[in-house]
């Protein structure tokens, strides 16, 4: 426990119009049983559905834990990165995360992750399995990995798309946020924070389900509108080269192939929905940004020009499944390896940790 009375762990929670879910999220915070103090900084970005009223209720009952930030004007719409604004206020040695529509499902989540940091002094990131809640459907012990665990250099798995950490599962060493200097503009800033935690530090995977990820159909990643979905996916595609260059500042010589997988996934969504309103936009984007047109999309376009458009959805599914057989096999073997894995998986960083560059933090919030 810190001698100065400061919290050992700070929790970052961003909320906007999460009234149907925020109470379950807050209950996950206040039920935590720890041998150290912790704080929850919850940022309400001018919600209009009563989210702030529920937060005030918990603030009054648990003032030593719940420390809200209320906005009178929506900051996200003004281009302000509210996540980094909230991070600047945190006092903890470690930082955990949970969005307002997700929740923690184990009262010892924080305690277990801090114990991992105590056990592995060079660790900068600790994460775990998650539960996925999609309406009435619940999937347990979800593994967000593609392939076998390599037990080293976990940052390469993140950059290469082999590892997909959910925000609610991660806890990072706060001092690693110094690497946010020169941060590229990304639609998913949490990925960069996870990279900060393991670029020059070890990572630990807890083989337990400690939090839940809720799929909301109006979120950026699961929007009902194809146009909105493509807007988000194109941001991911455009940001990928910037992310690789940013990593290269701290890992000289590192490079990773730029993939247009997001575009192929979206093309399949268009065919399923029989809505090709974004077709020309996708093709133009891929050409202008030098991604090239993936083979699957080229085949679909050839079928269009030869009058075989009626077969395209069925053919697309067959072709996509065939092309993905190696990925499915690798993912299946990876998941099986985790089910028989020990409680903790340690990812050693193979480079000299003492050689990590000491650079000042500079976060451009506006």
DSSP string across 48-98: SSSHHHHHHHHHHH-TTTEEEEE-SS-SGGGT--HHHHHHTT---SEEEE-
Q: Which residue has the higher pLDDT, 346 or 93?
A: 93
Cβ neighbours of residue 240 closer than 8 Å, sequence gap 6 or more: 258, 259
Query: What does the alpha-carbon distance between residue 270 and residue 279 come to, in Å, rounded to a whole number?
Result: 8
Within a domain: residue 111? no
Nearest CA to 68 among 81, 84, 79, 57? 57
The stretch 28-42 carries a mean pLDDT of 97
Within a domain: residue 360? no
Q: Residue for token digits 């630990």?
A: 204
Query: What does the alpha-carbon distance between residue 263 and residue 269 come to, in Å, rounded to a whole number?
Result: 10
Within a domain: residue 251? yes
- Least confident piece of the model among 111-115, 202-206, 307-311: 307-311
Q: Identify the band that residue 61 occupies on the pLDDT scale cut at 50, 70 and 90.
A: very high
CATH number for 72: 3.90.550.10
Percent of the chain with pLDDT over 90: 34
Among 102, 137, 153, identify where a domain stops. Answer: 102
pLDDT in tens, 230-262: 776 676 677 677 777 778 777 776 766 556 666
Within a domain: residue 37? yes
Within a domain: residue 270? yes
Element (H, E) at 132: strand 123-134
Q: Identify the band that residue 317 occupies on the pLDDT scale cut at 50, 70 and 90.
A: low
Within a domain: residue 199? no
Query: What does the alpha-carbon distance between residue 304 and residue 300 come to, in Å, rounded to a whole number?
Result: 6
Q: How many domains does the chain have?
A: 2
**Which of 28-32, 146-150, 346-350 tops mean pLDDT?**
28-32
Within a domain: residue 119? no
Within a domain: residue 204? no
Q: Identify the band that residue 303 occupies on the pLDDT scale cut at 50, 70 and 90.
A: confident
- Res. 87: pLDDT tops 90: no
Query: What does the alpha-carbon distance between residue 79 and residue 63 come to, in Å, rounded to a whole number?
Result: 30
Query: What does the alpha-carbon distance between residue 50 and residue 54 come to, in Å, rounded to a whole number?
Result: 7
pLDDT in tens, 326-343: 656 665 665 666 666 667
Cβ proximity of 184 and 239 under 8 Å: yes
Q: Identify the band that residue 78 occupies on the pLDDT scale cut at 50, 70 and 90.
A: confident
CA angle (259 as vertex; 253, 265 as ends), nearest 5: 160
Q: Are strands 38-44 and 9-15 parallel, antiparallel or unpaired?
A: parallel
Q: Identify the band that residue 355 occupies on the pLDDT scale cut at 50, 70 and 90.
A: very low
Mean residue pLDDT across the chain: 78
pLDDT in tens, 161-192: 667 788 999 999 999 988 877 666 665 667 88
Question: The domain containing residue 96 runs over which residues?
Answer: 8-102
- Res. 357: pLDDT tops 80: no
């Amino acid at each position: 426990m810190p001698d100065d009375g400061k919290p050992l762990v700070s929790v970052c929670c961003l909320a906007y119009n999460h009234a149907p879910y925020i109470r379950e999220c807050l209950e996950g915070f206040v039920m935590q049983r720890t041998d150290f103090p912790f704080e929850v900084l919850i940022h309400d970005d001018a919600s209009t559905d009563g989210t702030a009223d529920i937060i005030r209720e918990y603030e009054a009952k648990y003032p030593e834990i719940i420390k809200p930030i209320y906005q009178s004007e929506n900051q996200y719409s003004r281009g302000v990165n509210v996540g980094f604004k909230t991070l600047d206020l945190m006092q903890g040695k470690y930082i955990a995360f949970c969005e307002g529509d997700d929740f923690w499902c184990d009262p010892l989540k924080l305690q277990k992750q801090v114990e991992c940091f105590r056990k592995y002094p060079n660790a900068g990131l600790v994460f775990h399995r998650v539960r996925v809640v999609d309406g009435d459907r619940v999937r347990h012990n979800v593994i967000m990995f593609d392939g076998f665990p390599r037990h080293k250099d976990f940052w390469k798995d993140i950059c290469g798309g082999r590892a997909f950490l959910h925000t609610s599962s991660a806890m990072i060493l706060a001092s690693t946020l110094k690497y946010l200097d020169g941060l590229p503009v990304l639609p998913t800033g949490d990925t960069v924070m996870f990279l900060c935690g393991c670029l020059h530090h070890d990572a630990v995977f807890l083989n337990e389900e400690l939090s839940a990820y809720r799929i909301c159909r109006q979120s950026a990643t699961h929007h009902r509108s194809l146009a909105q979905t493509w807007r988000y996916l194109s941001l991911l595609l455009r940001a990928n080269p910037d992310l690789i260059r940013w990593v290269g500042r701290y890992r000289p010589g590192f490079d990773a192939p730029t993939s247009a997988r997001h575009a192929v996934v979206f093309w399949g969504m268009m065919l399923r929905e029989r809505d090709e309103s974004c077709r020309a936009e996708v093709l133009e984007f891929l050409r202008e940004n030098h991604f090239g047109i993936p083979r699957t999309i080229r085949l679909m376009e050839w079928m269009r020009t030869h009058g075989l458009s009626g077969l395209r959805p069925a053919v697309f599914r067959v072709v996509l499944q065939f092309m993905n057989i190696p990925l499915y096999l690798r993912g299946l073997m990876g998941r099986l390896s985790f089910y028989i894995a020990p409680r903790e998986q340690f990812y050693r960083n193979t480079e000299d940790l003492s050689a990590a560059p000491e650079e000042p933090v500079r976060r451009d919030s506006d």
